[in-house]
Structure 1
Amino acid sequence: MDPPVVPADRLVGWRRVAETTERPFDAGPISVTASTVRYERSDDPTPRPFCFASRLSIRPETAPNAPLTRLVERQSKVGFRDRLADRGIEAVEQRGDREIAVDDPTASRARVWTFRGDCRPVATDRGPSDETAASAVPVEALLAVWATDQYLLAGGAYPLDAGAYPNGRNAADARRELLGIVRGVRPPAKDEDGE
């Protein structure tokens, strides 16, 4: 199963760092497989902004519906918090949610959650130094979930500290850029899909 498509024109300054397929949920006859692609900004310092896009396959095949959407949203938020923790982002708090339109006219509106936390550099084999232990950077993260004929997820995180950005960029620019990427995510065309 191929991951969703992220328009190349929205990824200027980003580099693809991973593509994975995993099964985040499996209970009896019901399973969910997620195909995900992840990108990082190539020019920003640590913590480096990242974004991702995931496409879910639910078996047995089930069309999106209200109860299933609530389950996908709830499980997606739990999984996203885990991913943030893997990247050294801790003390994560949900700050709100809203709906946004995506570029795909056949899709539902996306529900977007905003989270805030602190990023501490991940310890090396030698352990954290006094400097890294004291250098937490505030981070904002966004997670969006919406439906076409399947569920799509997209989001990412970026530092809020003005000193984390080169070339006159700032957190507001990073937020606009991330939301632009999220809005552009779409499922692969039927002939592009590897299923």
Structure 2
Amino acid sequence: MDPPVVPTDRLDGWRRVAETTDRPFAAGPISVTASTVRYERTDDPPPRPFCFASRLRIRPETTPNAALTRLVERRAREGFRDRLAERDVEAVERRGEREIAVDDPAASRATLWTFRGDCRVGTDEGVVDADGEESGARDTVPVEALFAVWATDEYLLAGGAYPLGSDAYPDGRSPEDARRELLGIVRGVRSPAGGGDGGDGEDDE
């Protein structure tokens, strides 16, 4: 199963780092397979912003419906928290939930959650600073994470995270830039079979 399509015109400065297929959860007779692609920013110091997009295949084949959507959203949020933990993001708290439009006109509106947490940086020996040097004790950097779920004739997930401190970015970039960029990528994700015109979405906030 191919992963979702991520708009290449919104990936300037990003590098594709992984493509995986796994079975994130099963619930009774329902099993879910996810095909996921993940990207990281290449020109920001650690912890670098990252984003991902997943396409779900549900067996037995089931048309998206309200009950199934609630199940997918709950399990997908749990999986996103696990994804953040794998990237050393701790003390994750949910800060908001809202609906946003995605670029695909055939898709539902997406439910978007905002999380905040602290990312551990460095190694046990010390902290990696913006120049890549280790110094001092292990430290944390506050991060914000966005995660969205929506449906076409299948379920799509997309999200990512970025540091909140302005000193985590090179000159000319800021956390606000990172947020707008991530939202644009999320909105542009679509199923491989089509949907969406790849146009730029604007933030609803």
Q: Tell me whether the two structures share a fold, i.e. TM-score over 0.5.
A: yes
Residue number in structure 1 paired with 2:132: none
Residue number in structure 1 paired with 2:175: 171
- Work out the percentage of aligned pairs sharing the same amino acid: 76
Residue number in structure 2 paired with 1:75: 75
Residue number in structure 2 paired with 1:49: 49
Deviation at 1:179, TM superposition (A): 0.3
- Counterpart contact for 1:30–1:58, Cα < 8 Å: yes
Find runs of 4+ consecutive structure 1 residues off by over 4 angstroms.
Answer: none
- Counterpart contact for 1:120–1:132, Cα < 8 Å: no
Aligned-CA RMSD value: 1.3
Deviation at 1:167, TM superposition (A): 2.5
Give 1:1-195 correspondences, 5 Å limit: 1-121=1-121, 123=123, 127-129=124-126, 131-133=136-138, 135-189=139-193
Structure 1 residue runs without a partner (length 5+): 191-195
Deviation at 1:25, TM superposition (A): 1.3
**Do the aligned partners of residues 73 and 27 (structure 1) sit closer, same or farther apart at CA in structure 2, a change above 3 Å counting?**
closer
- Counterpart contact for 1:92–1:115, Cα < 8 Å: yes
Q: The residue matched to 1:104 in structure 2 has which SS?
A: coil
Distance 2:57 2:8 in 1: 24
TM-score (norm 2): 0.88
Distance 1:161 1:27 in 2: 39
**What is the number of residues matched between the two proteins?**
186
Distance 1:113 1:46 in 2: 24
Distance 1:118 1:136 in 2: 6
Deviation at 1:168, TM superposition (A): 1.6
Q: The residue matched to 1:120 in structure 2 has which SS?
A: strand
Distance 2:104 2:38 in 1: 20
- Counterpart contact for 1:112–1:145, Cα < 8 Å: yes
Distance 2:19 2:122 in 1: 21
- Counterpart contact for 1:56–1:152, Cα < 8 Å: yes
Distance 1:159 1:97 in 2: 20
TM-score (norm 1): 0.92
